[in-house]
Amino acid sequence: MLLTPERTGRAIAAGCALFAQIWCCAAGARADGLPEGFVYLRDVAPSIVQDMRYAGPDNFTGKPVPGYGAAECVLQRSAAEALARAQDKAKSRGFSLKVYDCYRPIRAVRAFVAWAAAPEDGRTKRYYPRLGKSRLVPGYIASQSQHSIGFTVDLTIVPAAAATSKDPEQEGDCTAPGAGDGSLGMGTAFDCFDPKANTASPLLTPAERKNRGLLLSIVEGAGFKNYAAEWWHFSYPGSDERRYDFVIGSGTAF
């Protein structure tokens, strides 16, 4: 068969497409840039509010964190589906879940450790009002994170009526009443490096204790387990123990 320029072009294009498909599968990636097993939470539970703090400057480092190329919650599928069940329970009570962080790239964890080792500048002191920066590692900032596996999530509860509102940047001491972001009062803001952030802290008011109990009931009822040092931190059981370092929203898995 005579290959015309048009047929030659189609053959080259088909060959390139086949090569790209083979390369993608070999790398364990999909067209959405996620490794096998991972999903965007918005595709599984779109009604959950996302306030992804490390994709912007409203976090304890004071700037966007490496690895967060998009303000998207990414999780292993089983954890995302469990979170969807928790959201159904929250909605039945007139609330919504709001996630602060989900999958966390290894490079982000390294950036946290580097930030803690850098000289104090006081810009984000509100996140650790009673501690010196040097005391945050390893007590509060670890060199490895369960978030990097994809089964761990940081979250809170907001009234359903306020679920779509834009959250202001946090201001003031993180242990002050209210989180400043429209969520239920939990006694501290998210990522507050302080003993008051312990889930069962004795420093809480009755209302704050009740709100934390509600969060525990909803999220642990879906199969997650809370980390006792941080009221917002929950992990779902999974068989995958590998820590990942793909960039969120980059379009490439590794």
Residues with catalytic function: 230
CA angle 75, 79, 84 (to 5 degrees): 100
Structure tokens at 219: 């999220």
Q: Hey, how many other C-beta atoms are within 10 angstroms of the C-beta on 46?
A: 11
The string of DSSP letters for 52-67 reads -GGGSS-STTSSPPTT
Collapse the DSSP code of 248 into the 3-class scheme (helix H, G, I; strand E, B; otherwise coil) and give the result: strand
Which residue in the block uniquely carries the two structure tokens 């290894």? 106
Contact 78, 224 (CB under 8 A): no
CA distance linking residue 144 with residue 141, whole number of Å: 9
Give how far the C-alpha of residue 97 lies from the chain's centroid of Cα atoms, to the nearest Å. Answer: 13
Q: Bridge partners of 27?
A: none
- Tell me the chain's radius of gyration from C-alpha atoms: 21
